[in-house]
Amino acid sequence: MPSLDYPRQGVTPPVLHILVDRTKYRTYLRAMTEMPNLLDATGLLCPLPVLKARKRLNGLAAGETLTVMADDPAAIVDVPHFCTETGHELVSSTIDGATQTYVIRKAG
């Protein structure tokens, strides 16, 4: 068996996987199951909140709503522009501190 003294030239270390204790994140997991049409894009920068919203909206039926939470300052302009360009309805937009919440109804 080869020794595992890294770094060596031309040899990459094995990939380490991080295990998450799901019992510590019950609130998060409960929110994900109770609100399947919630996209938490906080921490993501332009254009990722809009790109992820587009991807999630593709999986929804016409008339369903998607709630998007973001904290990127550019989302204030990007999300309404995205809705206008794609024909989706921006039902509401609220700002609470640094977090913005948008409710988008998928066009049909």
Which residues have a catalytic role annotated?
Answer: 46
- Tokens representing 77 are 């302009």
CA pair distance 104, 88, nearest whole angstrom = 7
- Tokens representing 52 are 């992820």
Host H or E run for residue 80: helix 75-86
Count of CB atoms situated within 10 Å of the CB of 38: 14
State the alpha helices, DSSP H only, in the chain: 26-34, 48-58, 75-86
